[in-house]
Structures are given as C-alpha cells and as structure tokens.
Amino acid sequence: MEFGFLFWLFFVGILVASMQDLKRREVDNWLNLFLLVSSLIFVFYGAILSGNSNVVFHVGFLLAVMFLIMNLFYYGRVFAGGDAKLLFAMTAFFLASTFLGSMINIGVFLLFLMISGSVYGLVYSGVLWFQNREKVNLEMKKLVQDKLWIVGVGIVLMLFGFVDFLFFLVGLLVFIFPLLYVFAKGLENVSMIREVSGSELREGDWLVDDVRVGGRVVEADWDGLSLEDIELLKGRRKVLIKEGLPFVPAFLIAFMGYALLRDWFVGILVIA
C-alpha cells in the first residue's frame, strides 16, 4: 500500500467532509462513496501490478469488519449516519500486510477517535456555552430543580466516604451525572434547537418532538427524517429540529494523530 497517496486522499476528503458537517450538519453520500471506491481501486490496482491476489481476500475481510463496526456505532447511537459511513469509507487506509496488522490499525484509529472526540466535544460545548452562557445558565436553573434530590443523594454518599472510599466514588458519580445531563440538555435547548419551515427540511434532520400531520405521525427518531417524512411536512410553516454536534472535525483530528503517532503508539504497546 502506498501510504502517501491514501493519506492525501483521505486528508482532503475528511477536510471537505468537516467543512460540510460544520456548515450543514451533514456529509454528502457522494463524498463517502468517492473515498471508498477510489481508495479500493487504488489498492486493487496495486495488487494487480504486484501480482498479490491475497489482497482481494484481505480487503474483503476488512470491509466486513468495518461494516460491522459501522453498524454497531450507528445503531448504538454513537455516530450519526454520515459519520458511520465516513468510517466505513476509510477501510483501505487501515490495510496492512497482515490481518492482525490491519486489526491493530483499526483499533488504534478508533482509540484516537474516541480521545479526540471527547476533547473536541468538550471544547465545542464550552464554546457554545460561552456564546450563549446567560440563556444556557437560565435554562440549566430550570432543569436542575428536578434533579436536586439526586445531587443531594450524591453529596450524602460522598460524606460516607470516611467509612468506605467506595461510598465516595459512587457518590461522586451520582453527583456529577445529573449535572452533566443538565448542562448538556440546557445547551441543547438553547443552542442546538432551531425553527425552520417545512420547505427547508433535509433528509436526516432530527425532529425535536413527534409531529402529527393529518392522520399520520412523523416520529422524532434517531434515523432522522426520510424523504417521505419531508413530503408530509413540507407544507408546515414551523418545524422544530435538533442539530447534533458536528463530529467529523474529530475524525480529522484523529486522522492526523493516527498518521503522526501510530507507529510510536504501537511501539509503546509492544514494549508494554
């Protein structure tokens, strides 16, 4: 595999996908398809020139693995559809000389992606909070009232930490999780919900609540709006939709981290 070509192919592709996600909260299917097909053509062409027919079986195995991971992440509600498809489109980038090497590549990238996604998510949320801090704080005050008793339980458990440290750890978790939920929900209600007309809806948009249209109900589910749903809603003047975190920039950060630090990271694992 020529790492250089695939690096620049996916670097440019993920960069374009990041700009699409930041601007429109979606990644075009044609871009994911282009990355997948062009990278596979390049790999197969190299295999033909080198006479290495085993690459075909190797890539087939990787595609099956990545298809499984894509669906686990999507149906586990870790990734939205565009993010999951982008991960699958990157299959050829993880190709190594052995099956084990390819699996290690996938595992290392996913680790980088989880780390970069967490850091990026915190930073992005912090920026949104700062931009709308007065409204978000007001919304959080409304939401936290129903969670005060849980916070109180957490504080009581932490006070029993002198009896057993486990009480303190459990109490800390009980104390933190409601506050994190209130922060996330307050930020979502203020910064991630907007009103659009039915004619502005796009495939994959997330409804805030179910919408009744005549005798039918368009459900607010994880899959987002279908073209049929949009057809039903296009005549409505106001529709509330929820915008998710544009996650593809985390792919770009993870991609650069993987490209620069992959060998160093694997070396540490081998030594350990």
Tens digit of pLDDT for each residue in 1-15?
Answer: 445 889 999 999 999
Cβ–Cβ under 8 Å, residues 221 and 192 = no
Supply the pLDDT for residue 1. Answer: 45
Q: What is the SS3 string spanning the chain?
A: CCHHHHHHHHHHHHHHHHHHHHHHCCCCHHHHHHHHHHHHHHHHHHHHHHCCCHHHHHHHHHHHHHHHHHHHHHHCCCCCHHHHHHHHHCHHHHCCCCHHHHHHHHHHHHHHHHHHHHHHHHHHHHHHHHHCHHHHHHHHHHHHHHHHHHHHHHHHHHHHHHCCHHHHHHHHHHHHHHHHHHHHHHHHHHHCEEEECHHHCCCCCEECCCEEECCEEECCCCCCCCHHHHHHHCCCCCEEEECCCCCHHHHHHHHHHHHHHHHHHHHHHHHC
Query: Do 20 and 110 have their domain in common?
Result: yes
Query: Do 234 and 252 have their domain in common?
Result: no
In angstroms, the CA 197 to CA 47 distance is 51
Supply the pLDDT for residue 269. Answer: 66
Work out how many domains the chain is built from and give that number.
2
Query: Do 56 and 15 have their domain in common?
Result: yes
Q: Mean of the pLDDT values across residues 169-197? A: 80
Query: Do 52 and 106 have their domain in common?
Result: yes
> Which pLDDT band holds residue 32 (cuts at 50, 70, 90)?
very high
Q: Is the model's pLDDT at 42 over the cut of 70?
A: yes
Query: Do 113 and 198 have their domain in common?
Result: no
**Mean pLDDT, rounded, of the chain:** 85
Query: Do 264 and 201 have their domain in common?
Result: no
Other C-beta atoms closer than 10 Å to the C-beta of 214 total 6
Q: Is the model's pLDDT at 107 over the cut of 80?
A: yes
- Asked, for residue 159, whether it belongs to a domain, the answer is no
Radius of gyration of the chain (CA): 23
Cβ–Cβ under 8 Å, residues 225 and 205 = yes
Q: Is the model's pLDDT at 147 over the cut of 80?
A: no
Of 242 and 116, the structure prediction assigns the larger pLDDT to 116
pLDDT digits (tens, 9 = 90+) for 67-89: 999 999 888 877 888 889 999 99
> Which pLDDT band holds residue 48 (cuts at 50, 70, 90)?
confident
Query: Do 97 and 202 have their domain in common?
Result: no
- Note down the domain range covering 232: 193-242
Query: Do 197 and 266 have their domain in common?
Result: no
> Which pLDDT band holds residue 105 (cuts at 50, 70, 90)?
very high
What percentage of the chain has pLDDT greater than the value 90?
Answer: 28
Cβ–Cβ under 8 Å, residues 223 and 82 = no
CATH number, domain at 99? 1.20.120
- Asked, for residue 93, whether it belongs to a domain, the answer is yes
- Asked, for residue 220, whether it belongs to a domain, the answer is yes
> Which pLDDT band holds residue 49 (cuts at 50, 70, 90)?
confident
Q: Mean of the pLDDT values across residues 227-232? A: 81
Supply the pLDDT for residue 178. Answer: 79
Question: Model's pTM, two decimal places?
Answer: 0.78
